[in-house]
């Protein structure tokens, strides 16, 4: 039987996976991924929209201590700004590989 391949939402070619108020951005087979934590939301019309987001670039090396895996951290207003900085960090990290 053929394996079923799961499709993820993507942003600028990298997968986005959400679990409650945490969004993982990037390819888990790379050295780094970004973890976006939604800290607060605001109401826009009938929708709840992410307002304040903590962005962390983390190593995918599971042999490291979880605290040591955090390479960079920042807080941004809005999901677009958070994804934008995460994409820049991941792009730079990929060039250094």
pLDDT tens per residue across span 17-46 = 999 999 999 998 899 999 999 999 999 999
Q: Which domain range does residue 80 map to?
A: 10-96
Kindly state whether residue 2 falls inside one of the protein's structural domains. Answer: no
Q: What's the rounded Cα separation, in Å, for the pair 84 and 90?
A: 10
* Assigned domain for 55 exists: yes
- For the chain, the domain total comes to 1
Q: Is residue 26 part of a domain?
A: yes
Is residue 15 situated within a structural domain?
Answer: yes
Residue 73 placed within a domain: yes
Percent of the chain at pLDDT exceeding 90: 78
Residue 52 lies in a domain: yes
| CA count, 13 A, side-chain hemisphere, 40 | 6
| 30 found inside a domain | yes
Beta-carbon contacts of 28 under 8 Å, excluding residues fewer than 6 positions away, are: 60
Decide if 78 is inside a domain. Answer: yes
- Give pTM, 2 decimals: 0.85
Number of alpha helices (DSSP H) and beta strands (DSSP E) in the chain: 1, 6
């Amino acid at each position: 039987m053929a394996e079923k391949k799961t499709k993820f939402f993507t942003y600028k070619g990298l997968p986005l996976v959400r679990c409650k108020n945490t969004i993982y951005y990037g390819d888990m087979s790379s050295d780094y991924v970004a973890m976006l934590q939604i800290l607060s939301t605001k109401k826009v019309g009938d929708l709840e929209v992410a307002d304040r987001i903590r962005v962390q670039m983390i190593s995918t090396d599971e042999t490291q201590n979880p605290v040591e895996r955090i390479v960079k951290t920042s807080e941004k207003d809005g999901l677009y700004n958070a994804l934008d900085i995460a994409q820049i960090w991941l792009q730079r990290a990929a060039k250094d590989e």
